[in-house]
Amino acid sequence: MELNFEVSQHFLDDRGQRSGFVLLGAFLLAFLFIRTSARMIRSPKFSWWPGSVKTSSGLHLHHLVWGICLMMSSGFLNFALAPESPWSEVLAAAFGIGAGLTLDEFALWVHLEDVYWSEQGRISLDAVVVATLLGGLIVLGLAPFDLSEQGGSIGSIVVAVAFDVALAALAIFKGKPLLGLIGVFIPIVSLVGAIRLATPNSPWARKRYRPGSRKMEAASARWARVRKRRRWLGDAIGGTPSAQ
């Protein structure tokens, strides 16, 4: 499956891509701002920082509340008014800010409790990474399976799509869901995930790697290194989880 990675010199001339670019940029800036704010609230060094919002009764309003309200209002206005530039970009920025505030507390959606600084809270960072990568690929003009660039018969298209899906599924089955998702857009990424060793707790490893075998030991050692790098990066961006 051939992919065209060339970015047009008139990239931002397209209204849809321009709005998507603004939305993605606002999303990332909002996430970085609110995560930095949360870390400052947590640190005694920044006691001057205004911190979180509480009602007169002491009820803490999570920032995902503001994010949801902002996404709902900006999304409604965009659908109802279908404004031209620059208001379409303004609404896109508002929606992106709301998404950044909301996804920063994605773990609360799943657990229905405040696990922001716990190990479970790390899935919020995972959600932001996935949203950023997939959103970025779409803004760049890549589409799942990229059928717009395919020629030939229906049969050849079906074979290409089936091959793409199979590679993505194999990467996910080997414990690499992010590579599998990206591989739907860029098949070579899922091919890398499908070829390399599976993670030790993945369905593939449990089924095909015998306990104590060379493959299982290699997979465990490699995963330990990957997990260490991910933990360091997660601590650097999101802050160190609280001790349980």
Provide the residue ranges of all domains of the chain, joining segments of one domain with +: 1-142
Predicted local confidence at residue 5, as pLDDT: 44
Please confirm whether the linkage preceding 241 is cis (ω < 30° from 0). Answer: no
Nearest Cα neighbor of 234 from 133, 115, 126 is 126
pTM for the model stands at 0.82
Predicted local confidence at residue 151, as pLDDT: 55
Predicted local confidence at residue 37, as pLDDT: 92
Predicted local confidence at residue 1, as pLDDT: 42
Predicted local confidence at residue 8, as pLDDT: 46
Q: In the predicted model, what is the mean pLDDT of the chain?
A: 87
* pLDDT tens digits for range 50-91: 877 777 777 778 899 999 999 999 999 999 999 988 899 999
* pLDDT tens digits for range 144-157: 665 555 555 677 77
Under 8 Å between Cβ of 237 and 125: yes
- Residue 16 pLDDT > 70, yes or no? yes
* pLDDT tens digits for range 167-188: 999 999 999 999 998 988 888 9
Q: How many CB atoms lie within 10 A of CB 101?
A: 24
Report the alpha-carbon distance of residue 18 to residue 11 in Å, rounded: 8
Predicted local confidence at residue 2, as pLDDT: 46
Higher model confidence: residue 54 or residue 100? 100
Predicted local confidence at residue 3, as pLDDT: 45
Residues sharing a CB contact under 8 Å with residue 78, sequence separation 6 or more, in sequence order: 88, 91, 92, 95
Paired residues of 61 in beta bridges: 53
pLDDT band at 141 (very low <50, low <70, confident <90, very high): confident
Q: With residue 226 as reference, give the H or E element that holds it.
A: helix 214-238
